[in-house]
Chains A and B, each alone.
Chain A
């Protein structure tokens, strides 16, 4: 028998669920404990931010919100590995990556609070990133197109898209990794496999034993990592980004994690998954293991934890206040950005709506 092709998928993990280091070859960034503390702090602030968002929704101050509870290691690992000049094309819950790149909590609140200005990220490098993409997997092709633009212009930049396990079923994902392989594009596609696409479990999405191996068919580098271990996520990202930046090909990274919360605040996960499963997932969640590891290294303790939580609370309170104080846009805003300039025909409709406004209806 002759073999036409063979493949294997590496699984990467540095910290187990208890925070025990399972391999000695720590990457350079992880040897810098000050930096690891910074990453932990951002994961914690992401969690505080997320809890605040859910609370805002439950008290009627936010529309539907997609929580990121449990994804902190995956998201911060992605965002912290990227360079400012790279581009992120997220789906709709990658706040940990986005906060790192300058998206402000008030912008997240504005978007889910019914105001398009939430997508108008004010701070670089987030300002040149894509906004949240609700239509599943469509953002993967925006990243591929960005990567193509970088290649054509000879820029050493990488486009990163994030996608869920469910999203990896869609043609847009396959199309993006396919053209990335065919054109050797600087694309890194991260499948944040959180086991659930609303109520549909991972096993219904695909018969493949890993989602990472989907990239094999596209000719990309592929790896599966423990998505609750930020060292593993960050290391896989750094390797993938470096290869892509140097013209050595794109990657698919599968970060295996778990969606600890509901799909969105409009969802009730108790309808379709058991308590025990969620309990088991909590035992493997990303904060606990990194905290245990940092505490064992002597660079983190309860006092620091409480102090940082208090700082996060204050930060989020400021952000919430800024959000709540933001006045609704004028009614004409729905017309003003449809085209670069409002066409004459549309201006008539704008004037009509404005006349309703002036009459109070």
Chain B
């Protein structure tokens, strides 16, 4: 079986679902002949034609609103925002219509659509191409916000997102689009959208993260292991609706919690997890909760961007502080 990258897993999931469900269509800027600027839709137009892999006019509002309309008519559109920094014009259609259509019509009309976007920093991209703004969506009721962190999870979670009867924001960590390959069987098996994934078992500290930072957290866990510290690593994967039970179980076991994300700290999704830990795990905590995040600044242009993103060293240091506290 071929080994594939995360971006190839996205393509594989799209192709699988388009082949098996003719209501699935892909639309966005440059998704057709060009196969997407990151090649996520490579070869799809050749296979499925210009109507099912549709190059739209260059207007994000149009992409988002047309996606709502198609979904209400029973199609399963997968819209691409070319970069996460270009998703802002889509937000009115997502928040005011996609997310609330089912609720405001008491279930009469629904929006089974997916909005994909390459997300996050770390690829030396131009301005507005490196945003991490998942927290802007996690506060919108009626949306699922999903971030895969490996080729296998990208494949399984994207299939689940397309099949889900409600709108899904699917944010792809572009820094790890091609970081490594793994075997991903093209078997159409979806992964659940209502669980966090425990990627590494541990007993001393829980590292909670999502997206590209999963890589740094796993490396930090390796480093901590060399220091004799056993770290558990949780990939939240679906931020909302949140499976907090998995996180609570881990933190109640380890007594220590380090939350890692690249979005700005204040009101980032880590704040929600920290608050829940305070609500549900306070008496089991052995140390204050730590957050390792981007600062409350704009992500700098690329000369400084790696200084902005959480590093293995910063994560290890935060874990060590929780261990020093008790």
Find the A residue at minimum CB distance from B165. A340
Give B77 Cβ to nearest chain A Cβ, in Å.
Answer: 8
Q: Which of B114-122, B241-249, B302-310 is near enough to bind chain A?
A: B241-249
B-contact 0/1 string along A325-341, CB 8 Å cutoff: 00000000110011110
Contact B70 A146 (CB under 8 A): yes
Chain A residues whose C-beta falls within 8 Å of the C-beta of B107 in the assembled complex = 120, 337
Q: Verify A117–B93 contact, CB threshold 8 A.
A: no
Rounded to whole angstroms, the CA-CA distance of A39 and B70 in the bound complex is 32
| Closest B residue to A346 using CB positions | B241
Q: Which residues of B contact A141 (CB under 8 A)?
A: 61-62, 64-66, 68-69, 93
A344 to B192, CA, bound (A): 13
Interfacial chain B residues near A339, Cβ < 8 Å = 102, 142, 165-166, 241
Taking a contact as CB atoms closer than 8 A, the residue among A148, A171, A343 that contacts B66 in the complex is A148
Q: A179-B59, A345-B242 are in contact. List 8 more A-B contacts (CB 8 A).
A: A142-B68, A145-B68, A149-B69, A152-B52, A172-B62, A175-B57, A176-B66, A345-B241
Query: Would you mind naming 23 contact pairs between A and B with Cβ atoms under 8 Å apart?
Result: A116-B105, A120-B106, A127-B108, A131-B105, A138-B92, A138-B97, A141-B93, A144-B65, A145-B69, A145-B71, A146-B73, A148-B70, A149-B69, A172-B62, A179-B59, A337-B103, A337-B107, A338-B102, A339-B166, A340-B165, A340-B166, A345-B243, A345-B244
- Give the interface residue-count category, chain A: 35 or more
Tell me, rounded to whole Å, the shortest Cβ–Cβ distance linking B93 to chain A.
6
Task: Tell me if B41 counts as interface (CB < 8 A to partner A).
Answer: no
Residue of A nearest to B105 (CB): A119
User: Is B104 interfacial (CB 8 A cutoff)?
Assistant: yes
Hey, which chain B residues are within 8 Å of A147, CB to CB? 69
| Chain B residues closer than 8 Å to A333, beta-carbon distance | 106
Q: Give the residue name and chain of the A residue nearest to B240 (CB).
A: A345
Range of interface residues on chain B? 35 or more
Known contacts A171-B59, A175-B59; A144 and B66 CB within 8 A of each other: yes
Most B CB contacts (10 A, CB to CB) among A131, A142, A175 go to A142
Q: Is the CB of B61 within 8 A of A172?
A: yes
**Partner pick for A152 among B67, B68, B75, CB 8 A cutoff:** B75
Contact surface of B with A, Cβ cutoff 8 Å? 25, 51-52, 54, 56-57, 59, 61-62, 64-75, 77, 89, 92-93, 96-97, 102-110, 141-142, 165-166, 194, 241-245
Closest to A181 in B: B57
Neighbouring A residues of B93 by C-beta, 8 Å: 138, 141, 172
Contacting residue for A146 out of B69, B89, B244, CB 8 A: B69
Chain B nearest Cβ from A332, distance in angstroms: 13
Judging by beta carbons under 8 Å apart, are B96 and A175 in contact? Answer: no
Question: In the assembled complex, how far is the CB of residue A309 from the closest CB belonging to chain B, in whole angstroms?
Answer: 33
How distant is A35 from chain B, measured CB to nearest CB, in Å? 30
- Please determine whether B142 and A338 come into contact, CB atoms closer than 8 angstroms: yes
**CB 8 Å contact bits of A124-148 with B (1 = contact, 0 = none):** 0001001101010010111111111
